[in-house]
Structures are given as structure tokens and as C-alpha cells.
Amino acid sequence: MEREVKKREKMAMIGEVAAGMAHEIRNPLASLSGSMQILKEELSLQGDNAYLMEIALREMDRLNTTITEFLTYARPNPPQKKLMDLNDLLIDTINLLKNSDVYRNADIHAQTEFKEETLLLSVDPHQISQVFWNLSMNAVQAMPDGGVLTISSRMSGVKSGNEVSKSREWAEIIFKDTGQGINEGILEKIFVPFFTTKEAGSGLGLSIVHRIIEEHDGRIYVKSKPGKGAQFTIYLPME
């Protein structure tokens, strides 16, 4: 308990520093982005100059996104919980995924396996939807040559080896893909902020997932082997 309190105090301190840094960076970034957008419209750039302008604007957008993601990780809003059907949130995620460009441009099949017709739980629907979306996108990006994403849910007892209280009921949600898999060295760092193996990634997507699950008093585990796909298992307490 004392260790958990110290961890929360440390994260709160990081959050305050992050908020200050974000403010100092975002204001000049917004001015710079706005000025360059005006220049783009007024100068009627052509060829290489137009291409370089697009790169600059795109990279500023990426930096702004990274700042937003870091704030989400370092200074998350307290969960605004309400009774939700997790299966409905998962179906919404699948529908959004199937309508995304990254899904339509890949040979990927997404499917659900729900043991219970409904899985009612008190959660923050926006935060948990972000968890489901981040894990779905992570799976799709792990299958550049196509594959299958299976999302399953059920009320669960506790499997051996997982540090979850056996005196409570838990909702178990699994995201399983048939992608490239993850080697052991990367697996150990997968939830570390800013750690990424993707060229365009911020390294915060899975860190945010981990933080949100912790804020919901839940647990998340991952297992994988190179060439054998990956499986992320979430446990959320039934209240």
C-alpha cells in the first residue's frame, strides 16, 4: 500500500511538470503552425517548396499529438465512472476500426467472442474506449501482411500467476492477434513511456493503456513470441 501511495505521488508530481511543459511548448507551437498555414495559403508554393511546407505542418501536428498523449499519460483525468456494457464498447471499437483507412487497406479480419451477452461494469466509457482503440490499432499495426484480430470478453476467475485478488469477480477482455509477435527484450519494455519500435509512433499508446487500467484498479498482461502473434489480457474488477 505504501509503495502504491508513493507511486501515485510521483506520478502526480510528473503530471504537474508535464502540464507546465505542455503550456510552454503549445503556445509557441500554435503560433508557429498558424503562421506557416497563412504562408502556405498566401505564397502559392510549388514543387519542392510545397512538399517541404507539408512536411513541416505535418510534423507540427505530430508534435502536438505527442504532447496531448503525454499529458493523458502523466496527468490523466480521474475516471468518471458509469455503469456500461463492455461488450457494447468493444463492438463500437470494432465498427470504428473497420471504417478506418488502416483497416480497409490491410487484409485483416476482426472478430468478437463474447461469453456473456452483456458484461456490465462501472468504468469511464471514454477512457476504456481509448484503451480498446489503442490495443486494436496496436494489433493491426502488428499485422502488415494481414491476419486475424480476435477480441473476447467474459466474467473470469483468476488464472495462476496473475497478481489479481481471488476474492473478487473480474471482467476479462482479451485482444489476440496473429501478427509478427514480440521478442522478449521488447516485451519487458512494452509499457514504458516513449519506448517504441515504430518509425511514426510516439511510444505512448500502450503506456496510456497501462495507466488507464491502473486508474480503474485493473491489471493488464501481455504474452507473445516472435512469429506467433500477441495477446493482451485485461482484468477489470466487477464492482
DSSP result, 137-172: HHHHHT-TT-EEEEEEEEEE-PPTT----TTS-EEE
> Using an 8 Å Cβ cutoff, are 180 and 227 in contact?
yes
pLDDT in the model for residue 148:
94
Quickly state the pLDDT bin for 198 (edges 50, 70, 90): low
- The secondary structure of 209-235 as a DSSP string is HHHHHHHTT-EEEEEE-TTS-EEEEEE
Measured CA to CA, the distance from residue 153 to residue 140 in angstroms comes to: 19
pLDDT in the model for residue 160:
42
pLDDT digit string (tens) for 125-153?
Answer: 999 999 999 999 999 988 988 999 999 99
According to DSSP, the residues that pair with 153 across neighbouring strands are 114, 173
Q: What does the domain layout of the chain look like in residue ranges?
A: 2-74, 82-237
pLDDT higher at 168 or 123: 123
Nearest to 111 by CA among 173, 182, 181, 176: 176
Q: CA angle, corner 86, sides to 83 and 88, nearest 5?
A: 105
Mean pLDDT of the chain: 82
Tell whether the torsion through CA atoms of 15, 16, 18 and 22 is positive or negative: positive
3-state secondary structure of 119: coil
CA atoms within 13 A on the CB side of 105: 5
3-state secondary structure of 84: strand
pLDDT at residue 2 tops 70: no
Pick the CATH number of 82-237 from 3.10.450.50, 2.60.40.790, 3.30.70.260, 3.30.565.10: 3.30.565.10
Share above pLDDT 90 across residues of the chain, in percent, rounded to a whole number: 37
> Using an 8 Å Cβ cutoff, are 180 and 141 in contact?
no
pLDDT at residue 195 tops 80: no
Measured CA to CA, the distance from residue 72 to residue 166 in angstroms comes to: 31
Q: Rounded to 5 degrees, what are φ and ψ at 213?
A: -65, -40
Quickly state the pLDDT bin for 92 (edges 50, 70, 90): very high
Rounded mean pLDDT, 173-202: 82
Measured CA to CA, the distance from residue 21 to residue 71 in angstroms comes to: 10
